[in-house]
Amino acid sequence: MSITAETAKEHANDPAVLCCRAEEGITIQASNLEDPAIFDDLVDSGLLDLEGALTIEQVLGATLTKTCDSLCPLTADVVEGAKAAAAPEKAAEEAAEPAPAVPAAPQAAVGPGQVLRIHIGEGKDIDIELPVGLANISAPTPAGVPGVIPALAADTEVQETNEEKIVRTLTRKHYKITEVKRGPETKIEGTTLYIREGIEKECVDSQELVFDLKIDIITPEDYHTYSETIMDVQPIACKEGEDEVGSGTTRVLDGVIMMVTGTDANGVQIGEFGSSEGYLDENIMWNRPGAPDKGEIFIKTQVTIKEGTNMERPGPLAAHTATDHITQEIREALKELENDSLVVDTETFDQVRRPGKKKVVIVKEIMGQGAMHDNLILPVEPVGVLGAKPNVDLGNVPVCVSPLEVLDGCIHALTCIGPASKEMSRHYWREPLVLEALHDPEVDLCGVIFVGSPQINSEKFYVSKRVGMMVEMMDVDGAFVTTEGFGNNHIDFASHHEQIGMRGIPVVGMSFCAVQGALVVGNKYMTNMVDNNKSESGIENEVLACNTLCHEDAIRALAMLKNAMAGEEVKTAERKWNPNVKGTNVELISNVTGKPIELAKNEQSLPMSQKRKEKYD
């Protein structure tokens, strides 16, 4: 449809196409041109070939030399007086130019309190904005205010509020494990972990629905082993003394993880869709926040639950609880270690509040439709079961937690379907966005909100409205909304954006979208999006944690939110998923920050199944 002069300006560098028949001799105006927004559809339908078309900027005001019909791209041979083609190169130059300015002469170029704005003009780009001279950015230009006293007051106040405040601290003591063996009792000796023989029976007996449980110890040499669907990957950790999850000291075993797998008694996978059953080394995206790291030992349980309960809520929960029986015994052994001689590393996480900086909150949408679509919130031990409340039982309402609670395993995730996008329990333990935001001196991360994603739309809107209210009360300057799901999860995901956005708070969304998870709904607040996809073809594949939120995504989201909070707009996305957009953006961020960003690998890095002789065994 014909466009306005305004739209023409926005799309100055897009191809010019007549929307309707136009007669020879007319002066080309915006109202003669078709809206570039529908070009993709038109090209798809074979209606349009943009080959050789001049840009809108070029043709405006020029004369049409031949009567042309609708959807005719305006090329040089039918237009007289077109402006010279200078535009296409512009975007790239714009992007390239400001970058070197940062190291060159920051002091001379920009004064304290000012910001360097970098605007990138192509595709689904991010606008990057960096404070230069971090000290004084929040000082509201006191010098220019007439009257000496208020200026002074403002000055002192600024200094006070700019001080960082440590709310609480979490210490992680790391214990190295190099070998896992079975033995008469569960204990840790040096770097060897012993698991009591016969513990399996107790696990089975503890859960009515569990018929059988096998423990496999998978060392790197055994990675090429067939496994049933991976239902979760968990760190093995315990609290020290009376400490609670989210503060104090946590002991964690390095080099070993718990892995829950299983089927029902008839051999049907638990959560049988898009299962990642198969050879472990082909189905795990190593080193994702939620996945095992290459080289780690897996304590893998294979739980058999009562037939037909694989899709009912109690089934997956029983499998997890039975596995936790083993983990709990390891935790006890870990707690008993008397001295710190086995500690190989100590990490300290400070929960820092930065008054005066832009206050942000992270809203994480988690599964809540039931069965394996569930999460246990706030167990007594990190990623434990005891003491935790299933998020479905909580009615999926938003629950506020501190960033340190997230990093200390406050979520025990039931993970059966969508293995590539689902966040494992371990994911939260290493949640990249929480870590990035917590460590970023330019933002004040006030907390994390978990909100379940119920099945029925009315319930989705119910919980979403609570999110809106909660965020409103926090008086934040910006919010992240992440989801580990797609499909109907995107309905509440969109609603969260709306509820937060309508309160005037900029939002950045993060989700697996690409091709298969393309958003099913949208609203005017969903302008800033980061796609978590890593897979080659943009689909939810069967590779564990492939499409989950990674460090590179966290960096992009953070840069995007900072810009949104500074009032910069993000360019409209291309209509079709284009993985290059991300590549360009990451490169640009890296250029500006001076830190290289290594992109996470995808499933293409995993061994291909050429030599598959085992199957004929």
Partner 1 sequence: MENLQFLLRQHVGAPCEPVVKAGDRVEKGTLIAVPAGLGANIFSSIYGSVQSVLEDRIVIAPDEEQKEEFVPIHEGSWLEMVKEAGVVGMGGAGFPTGVKLGTDLKGGFILVNAVECEPGLYHNIRQIEDNIEMTLKGVKYCMEISNAGKAIFAIKSKNEKAVEVLRKAVRDEENISIHLLPDIYPMGEERAVVRETLGKLLDPTQLPSAADSIVINVETVLRVAEAIDFRKPCFSKNMTVVGKLKGGNEPHVYMDVPVGISVGDLIERAGGIDGVYGEIIMGGPFTGKAVGKDAPVTKTTGGIIVTIDLPDLHGAPVGLLVCACGGDEARMRDVCEKMHGNVVSVARCKQAVEMKNGTLKCENPGNCPGQAQKCLQFKKDGSEYVIMGNCSDCSNTVMGSAPKMNLKVFHQTDHVMRTINHPLYRRLKVSKQVEQLPEGK
Partner 2 sequence: MKELKYGDKIIRMEGVIIEVHDGCAGIDLKGRLGYLKVPMRMLITDYPLAVGQEVAWNMSFVEQLGPEVNDKYVSNLDTYNRNQKEMRKTNAENKEAEE
CB of 34 to partner 1, least distance (A): 5
Cβ atoms < 10 Å from Cβ of 190: 12
38 binds, among partner 2, partner 1, none (CB under 5 to 8 A by kind): partner 1
Tokens of 582: 């991300």
Tokens of 82: 């077109």
Are 24 and 66 in contact, with CB atoms under 8 Å apart?
Answer: yes
Establish if 35 lies at the interface with partner 1 (CB under 8 A).
yes
Alpha-carbon gap, residue 29 to 48, rounded angstroms? 20
Listed ranges 318-326, 416-424, 555-563, 565-573: which one lies at the site for partner 2 (CB under 8 A): 416-424
Alpha-carbon gap, residue 414 to 345, rounded angstroms? 30
Concerning whether 416 is annotated as a catalytic residue, the answer is yes
185 binds, among partner 2, partner 1, none (CB under 5 to 8 A by kind): none
CB of 271 to partner 2, least distance (A): 6
Establish if 45 lies at the interface with partner 1 (CB under 8 A).
yes
Alpha-carbon gap, residue 383 to 257, rounded angstroms? 12
* Nearest C-alpha neighbor of 247 from the set 327, 167, 175: 167
Chain position carrying tokens 């360019």: 571
Please identify which of the residues 416, 446, 546, 550 carries the catalytic annotation. 416
388 binds, among partner 1, partner 2, none (CB under 5 to 8 A by kind): none
CB of 526 to partner 1, least distance (A): 21
| DSSP code per residue over 544-569 | BTTTS--HHHHHHHHHHHHHHHTTPP
Establish if 69 lies at the interface with partner 1 (CB under 8 A).
yes
Q: Could you say which residues in the range 95-134 bind partner 2, by CB under 8 A?
A: none
Of 273 and 503, nearer to partner 2 (C-beta) is 273
Listed ranges 17-25, 78-86, 118-126, 304-312: which one lies at the site for partner 2 (CB under 8 A): 304-312
Among 21, 66, 294, 612, binds partner 1 (CB under 8 A): 21
Write out 12-36 in H/E/C secondary structure: CCCECEECCCECCCCECCHHHEECH
Q: Could you say which residues in the range 205-234 bind partner 2, by CB under 8 A?
A: 211, 226, 228
Chain position carrying tokens 């995901």: 493
CB of 602 to partner 1, least distance (A): 32
Among 319, 416, 500, 508, binds partner 2 (CB under 8 A): 416
CA atoms within 13 A on the CB side of 470: 23
Establish if 312 lies at the interface with partner 2 (CB under 8 A).
yes
Are 286 and 244 in contact, with CB atoms under 8 Å apart?
Answer: no
Chain position carrying tokens 């029925």: 456
Among 12, 38, 76, 521, binds partner 1 (CB under 8 A): 38
Listed in sequence order, the residues at least 6 apart from 384 whose beta carbon sits closer than 8 Å to its beta carbon are 324, 327, 328, 331, 409, 412
- The catalytic residue positions are 416
Binding site for partner 2 (CB under 8 A): 44, 211, 226, 228, 263, 265-269, 271, 273, 277-279, 282, 304, 307, 311-313, 316, 367, 369-373, 416-418, 453, 455-458, 485-489, 491, 515, 520, 536-538, 608-610, 612, 614-615
Binding site for partner 1 (CB under 8 A): 1-2, 19-21, 23, 31, 34-35, 38, 41-42, 45-47, 67, 69-71
